[in-house]
Amino acid sequence: MSSKTQHLIKQGLLKSPPKFLETGVQYEVVMGSIAYGVAEENSDMDIYGFAIPPRDWVFPHLRGDIPGFDEAGVQFEQIQQHHMLDKSARGGKGREYDLVIYSIIKYFRLLMDNNPNIIDSLFVPRNCVLYSTAVGEMLRERRHIFLHKGCWAKFKGYAYSQVHKMRTKVPEGGRKAIIDEFGYDVKFAYHVVRLLNEVEQILIEKDLDLARNKEQLKSIRRGEWSQQAIEEYFSDKEKQLEQIYLESTLPPKPDKAEIKKLLLECLEHHYGSLSECVIQEDQALSALREIESIVQRIKK
Protein backbone atom coordinates (compact mmCIF):
# COMPACT_ATOMS: atom_id res chain seq x y z
CA MET A 1 0.00 0.00 0.00
CA SER A 2 1.43 3.40 -0.97
CA SER A 3 0.83 6.73 0.70
CA LYS A 4 -1.22 9.50 -0.90
CA THR A 5 1.96 11.59 -0.89
CA GLN A 6 3.68 8.95 -3.00
CA HIS A 7 0.73 8.95 -5.41
CA LEU A 8 0.83 12.74 -5.75
CA ILE A 9 4.59 12.62 -6.38
CA LYS A 10 4.14 10.01 -9.11
CA GLN A 11 1.39 12.13 -10.68
CA GLY A 12 3.81 15.05 -10.78
CA LEU A 13 1.47 17.15 -8.64
CA LEU A 14 3.68 17.63 -5.58
CA LYS A 15 6.45 19.98 -6.60
CA SER A 16 10.10 19.55 -5.54
CA PRO A 17 9.60 16.97 -2.78
CA PRO A 18 12.72 15.68 -1.00
CA LYS A 19 13.66 12.23 -2.32
CA PHE A 20 13.13 10.48 1.04
CA LEU A 21 9.45 11.47 1.03
CA GLU A 22 8.59 8.72 -1.45
CA THR A 23 9.21 6.12 1.26
CA GLY A 24 9.53 8.18 4.46
CA VAL A 25 5.87 8.99 5.13
CA GLN A 26 4.64 7.22 8.27
CA TYR A 27 1.13 8.56 8.76
CA GLU A 28 -1.46 10.32 6.63
CA VAL A 29 -5.01 11.30 7.49
CA VAL A 30 -7.92 13.17 5.94
CA MET A 31 -8.71 16.31 7.89
CA GLY A 32 -11.16 19.17 7.48
CA SER A 33 -14.86 18.72 6.84
CA ILE A 34 -14.48 15.00 6.11
CA ALA A 35 -12.96 14.27 9.53
CA TYR A 36 -15.58 16.44 11.25
CA GLY A 37 -18.45 14.64 9.51
CA VAL A 38 -19.76 17.67 7.64
CA ALA A 39 -18.33 17.07 4.14
CA GLU A 40 -20.27 17.67 0.97
CA GLU A 41 -19.92 15.91 -2.39
CA ASN A 42 -17.36 18.38 -3.73
CA SER A 43 -15.37 18.90 -0.51
CA ASP A 44 -11.61 19.20 -0.92
CA MET A 45 -9.29 16.60 0.59
CA ASP A 46 -7.14 18.10 3.35
CA ILE A 47 -4.32 15.68 4.10
CA TYR A 48 -2.04 15.92 7.13
CA GLY A 49 0.74 13.59 8.10
CA PHE A 50 4.32 13.13 9.17
CA ALA A 51 7.46 11.59 7.74
CA ILE A 52 10.83 10.50 9.12
CA PRO A 53 13.79 12.14 7.35
CA PRO A 54 17.15 10.36 6.88
CA ARG A 55 19.04 9.67 10.08
CA ASP A 56 21.72 12.34 9.57
CA TRP A 57 19.05 14.99 8.89
CA VAL A 58 17.71 14.40 12.40
CA PHE A 59 21.12 13.89 14.01
CA PRO A 60 23.46 16.19 12.01
CA HIS A 61 26.49 15.28 14.14
CA LEU A 62 26.49 11.94 12.31
CA ARG A 63 27.69 13.73 9.19
CA GLY A 64 30.24 15.72 11.18
CA ASP A 65 28.24 18.95 11.49
CA ILE A 66 28.69 21.07 14.61
CA PRO A 67 25.51 23.13 15.17
CA GLY A 68 26.37 26.80 15.61
CA PHE A 69 29.73 26.37 13.86
CA ASP A 70 29.02 24.74 10.53
CA GLU A 71 26.50 26.18 8.13
CA ALA A 72 23.12 24.55 8.51
CA GLY A 73 23.04 21.38 6.45
CA VAL A 74 20.13 19.74 4.72
CA GLN A 75 17.06 19.52 6.92
CA PHE A 76 13.30 19.08 6.71
CA GLU A 77 10.49 20.56 8.78
CA GLN A 78 7.48 20.31 6.50
CA ILE A 79 6.25 20.37 2.93
CA GLN A 80 2.95 22.04 2.09
CA GLN A 81 1.07 22.48 -1.14
CA HIS A 82 -2.50 23.48 -1.96
CA HIS A 83 -4.94 23.00 -4.83
CA MET A 84 -3.39 19.92 -6.42
CA LEU A 85 -5.96 18.65 -8.91
CA ASP A 86 -5.79 14.89 -9.43
CA LYS A 87 -7.89 14.36 -12.56
CA SER A 88 -7.75 10.56 -12.12
CA ALA A 89 -9.53 10.62 -8.74
CA ARG A 90 -13.18 9.66 -8.23
CA GLY A 91 -13.38 7.66 -11.43
CA GLY A 92 -12.19 10.54 -13.58
CA LYS A 93 -14.33 13.22 -11.91
CA GLY A 94 -11.19 14.60 -10.29
CA ARG A 95 -10.45 15.80 -6.78
CA GLU A 96 -8.45 18.69 -5.35
CA TYR A 97 -5.94 17.99 -2.58
CA ASP A 98 -4.31 20.20 0.04
CA LEU A 99 -1.34 18.47 1.65
CA VAL A 100 0.96 19.17 4.57
CA ILE A 101 3.53 16.61 5.73
CA TYR A 102 5.66 17.40 8.79
CA SER A 103 8.94 16.02 9.99
CA ILE A 104 8.27 13.68 12.91
CA ILE A 105 10.26 16.09 15.11
CA LYS A 106 8.07 19.11 14.33
CA TYR A 107 4.95 16.93 14.49
CA PHE A 108 5.83 15.85 18.04
CA ARG A 109 6.58 19.45 19.03
CA LEU A 110 3.20 20.67 17.73
CA LEU A 111 1.43 17.78 19.46
CA MET A 112 3.18 18.63 22.71
CA ASP A 113 2.00 22.24 22.32
CA ASN A 114 -1.57 20.95 21.76
CA ASN A 115 -1.83 22.68 18.40
CA PRO A 116 -5.52 22.05 17.51
CA ASN A 117 -4.96 20.98 13.89
CA ILE A 118 -2.23 18.53 14.85
CA ILE A 119 -4.10 17.13 17.85
CA ASP A 120 -7.09 16.61 15.54
CA SER A 121 -4.92 14.71 13.06
CA LEU A 122 -4.00 12.16 15.71
CA PHE A 123 -7.62 11.70 16.84
CA VAL A 124 -9.34 11.35 13.46
CA PRO A 125 -11.66 8.33 13.20
CA ARG A 126 -10.06 5.20 11.76
CA ASN A 127 -11.84 5.61 8.41
CA CYS A 128 -9.97 8.90 7.93
CA VAL A 129 -6.55 7.25 8.24
CA LEU A 130 -5.25 6.95 4.68
CA TYR A 131 -1.88 5.43 5.49
CA SER A 132 -0.15 4.33 8.67
CA THR A 133 3.04 2.37 9.27
CA ALA A 134 4.01 0.61 12.49
CA VAL A 135 5.44 3.95 13.67
CA GLY A 136 2.15 5.69 12.87
CA GLU A 137 0.31 3.08 14.91
CA MET A 138 2.73 3.47 17.84
CA LEU A 139 1.84 7.14 17.92
CA ARG A 140 -1.93 6.65 17.61
CA GLU A 141 -1.91 4.08 20.42
CA ARG A 142 -0.16 6.54 22.74
CA ARG A 143 -1.90 9.72 21.54
CA HIS A 144 -3.44 10.54 24.90
CA ILE A 145 -0.03 11.29 26.48
CA PHE A 146 0.03 14.58 24.56
CA LEU A 147 -3.12 15.99 26.17
CA HIS A 148 -2.71 18.54 28.96
CA LYS A 149 -4.48 21.62 30.32
CA GLY A 150 -2.56 23.86 27.95
CA CYS A 151 -5.08 22.76 25.32
CA TRP A 152 -7.51 25.39 26.61
CA ALA A 153 -5.26 28.34 25.79
CA LYS A 154 -4.41 26.92 22.36
CA PHE A 155 -7.96 26.04 21.30
CA LYS A 156 -9.33 29.29 22.71
CA GLY A 157 -6.75 31.25 20.73
CA TYR A 158 -7.74 29.46 17.52
CA ALA A 159 -11.44 30.06 18.25
CA TYR A 160 -10.77 33.78 18.83
CA SER A 161 -8.99 33.86 15.47
CA GLN A 162 -12.02 32.36 13.71
CA VAL A 163 -14.35 34.86 15.42
CA HIS A 164 -12.12 37.73 14.30
CA LYS A 165 -12.11 36.45 10.72
CA MET A 166 -15.88 36.01 10.81
CA ARG A 167 -16.24 39.64 11.86
CA THR A 168 -13.60 41.30 9.67
CA LYS A 169 -12.21 39.19 6.82
CA VAL A 170 -12.94 40.57 3.36
CA PRO A 171 -14.61 37.74 1.42
CA GLU A 172 -13.12 36.42 -1.82
CA GLY A 173 -14.16 33.75 -4.31
CA GLY A 174 -16.37 31.06 -2.82
CA ARG A 175 -16.36 32.80 0.55
CA LYS A 176 -18.12 35.79 -1.00
CA ALA A 177 -20.87 33.52 -2.30
CA ILE A 178 -21.32 32.09 1.21
CA ILE A 179 -21.77 35.56 2.70
CA ASP A 180 -24.15 36.57 -0.09
CA GLU A 181 -26.26 33.52 0.75
CA PHE A 182 -26.19 33.51 4.55
CA GLY A 183 -25.26 37.07 5.53
CA TYR A 184 -21.99 36.02 7.18
CA ASP A 185 -19.27 33.40 6.74
CA VAL A 186 -20.72 30.18 8.15
CA LYS A 187 -17.44 28.31 7.63
CA PHE A 188 -15.63 30.50 10.14
CA ALA A 189 -18.65 30.17 12.42
CA TYR A 190 -18.71 26.39 12.45
CA HIS A 191 -14.99 26.31 13.26
CA VAL A 192 -15.62 28.53 16.29
CA VAL A 193 -18.18 26.09 17.67
CA ARG A 194 -16.14 23.03 16.68
CA LEU A 195 -13.01 24.22 18.50
CA LEU A 196 -14.91 25.01 21.70
CA ASN A 197 -16.70 21.66 21.65
CA GLU A 198 -13.45 19.80 21.07
CA VAL A 199 -11.54 21.42 23.91
CA GLU A 200 -14.50 20.76 26.22
CA GLN A 201 -14.23 17.05 25.41
CA ILE A 202 -10.49 17.06 26.04
CA LEU A 203 -10.73 18.87 29.39
CA ILE A 204 -13.56 16.68 30.70
CA GLU A 205 -13.04 13.28 29.05
CA LYS A 206 -9.32 13.37 28.21
CA ASP A 207 -10.31 12.13 24.78
CA LEU A 208 -11.60 13.49 21.49
CA ASP A 209 -14.34 12.38 19.08
CA LEU A 210 -14.13 14.78 16.13
CA ALA A 211 -17.51 13.90 14.62
CA ARG A 212 -19.57 13.88 17.82
CA ASN A 213 -21.25 17.24 17.13
CA LYS A 214 -21.52 16.86 13.36
CA GLU A 215 -25.27 17.54 13.23
CA GLN A 216 -24.82 20.79 15.12
CA LEU A 217 -21.99 21.79 12.77
CA LYS A 218 -24.02 20.87 9.69
CA SER A 219 -26.87 23.09 10.87
CA ILE A 220 -24.45 26.03 11.20
CA ARG A 221 -23.12 25.41 7.69
CA ARG A 222 -26.69 25.35 6.38
CA GLY A 223 -27.17 28.85 7.74
CA GLU A 224 -29.59 27.86 10.50
CA TRP A 225 -27.63 29.88 13.09
CA SER A 226 -27.35 33.66 12.91
CA GLN A 227 -24.04 35.39 13.47
CA GLN A 228 -25.44 36.75 16.72
CA ALA A 229 -26.23 33.18 17.87
CA ILE A 230 -22.64 32.18 17.16
CA GLU A 231 -21.31 35.19 19.09
CA GLU A 232 -23.53 34.36 22.07
CA TYR A 233 -22.54 30.69 21.96
CA PHE A 234 -18.88 31.71 21.98
CA SER A 235 -19.33 34.08 24.92
CA ASP A 236 -21.34 31.63 27.04
CA LYS A 237 -19.15 28.62 26.25
CA GLU A 238 -15.97 30.53 27.03
CA LYS A 239 -17.23 31.27 30.53
CA GLN A 240 -18.20 27.63 31.07
CA LEU A 241 -14.85 26.40 29.82
CA GLU A 242 -12.89 28.67 32.17
CA GLN A 243 -14.51 26.81 35.08
CA ILE A 244 -14.13 23.42 33.39
CA TYR A 245 -10.44 24.21 32.89
CA LEU A 246 -9.99 24.87 36.63
CA GLU A 247 -11.71 21.59 37.52
CA SER A 248 -10.03 19.45 34.85
CA THR A 249 -7.82 16.62 36.10
CA LEU A 250 -5.63 16.70 33.00
CA PRO A 251 -1.94 17.28 33.78
CA PRO A 252 -1.11 21.01 33.85
CA LYS A 253 1.65 20.64 31.25
CA PRO A 254 3.04 17.96 28.94
CA ASP A 255 5.23 15.17 30.28
CA LYS A 256 8.21 16.07 28.13
CA ALA A 257 10.35 13.15 29.29
CA GLU A 258 7.66 10.60 28.43
CA ILE A 259 6.98 12.24 25.07
CA LYS A 260 10.69 12.30 24.22
CA LYS A 261 10.92 8.63 25.13
CA LEU A 262 8.10 7.85 22.69
CA LEU A 263 9.82 9.91 19.98
CA LEU A 264 13.04 7.96 20.44
CA GLU A 265 11.11 4.68 20.33
CA CYS A 266 9.56 5.73 17.02
CA LEU A 267 12.94 6.74 15.59
CA GLU A 268 14.58 3.54 16.80
CA HIS A 269 11.85 1.45 15.22
CA HIS A 270 12.51 3.20 11.91
CA TYR A 271 16.30 3.54 11.96
CA GLY A 272 17.38 0.65 14.15
CA SER A 273 19.71 1.24 17.10
CA LEU A 274 20.22 4.85 18.14
CA SER A 275 23.36 4.10 20.17
CA GLU A 276 25.46 6.31 17.84
CA CYS A 277 22.84 9.06 17.82
CA VAL A 278 21.71 9.57 21.42
CA ILE A 279 23.41 9.10 24.76
CA GLN A 280 20.94 7.55 27.18
CA GLU A 281 21.85 8.63 30.70
CA ASP A 282 22.08 5.84 33.24
CA GLN A 283 19.23 5.98 35.81
CA ALA A 284 21.63 5.91 38.73
CA LEU A 285 23.66 8.78 37.27
CA SER A 286 20.46 10.71 36.64
CA ALA A 287 19.42 10.21 40.28
CA LEU A 288 22.83 11.41 41.49
CA ARG A 289 22.53 14.53 39.36
CA GLU A 290 19.11 15.23 40.87
CA ILE A 291 20.44 14.77 44.42
CA GLU A 292 23.36 17.08 43.68
CA SER A 293 20.95 19.70 42.34
CA ILE A 294 18.83 19.47 45.51
CA VAL A 295 21.91 19.77 47.74
CA GLN A 296 23.09 22.86 45.85
CA ARG A 297 19.66 24.50 46.25
CA ILE A 298 19.68 23.76 50.02
CA LYS A 299 23.15 25.30 50.37
CA LYS A 300 21.96 28.47 48.71
Residue-wise pLDDT for 231-272, tens only, equals: 999 999 999 999 999 999 999 999 999 999 999 999 999 999
Average pLDDT over residues 30-49: 90
Phi and psi angles of residue 249, each rounded to the nearest 5 degrees, phi first: -100, 10
pTM for this prediction: 0.90
More confident residue, 45 or 291: 45
* pLDDT for the residue 300: 62
Q: For residue 113, give the amino acid letter.
A: D
- pLDDT tier for residue 88 given thresholds of 50, 70 and 90: confident
Q: Which residues contact 120 (CB under 8 A, 6 or more apart)?
A: 31, 35, 198, 208, 210
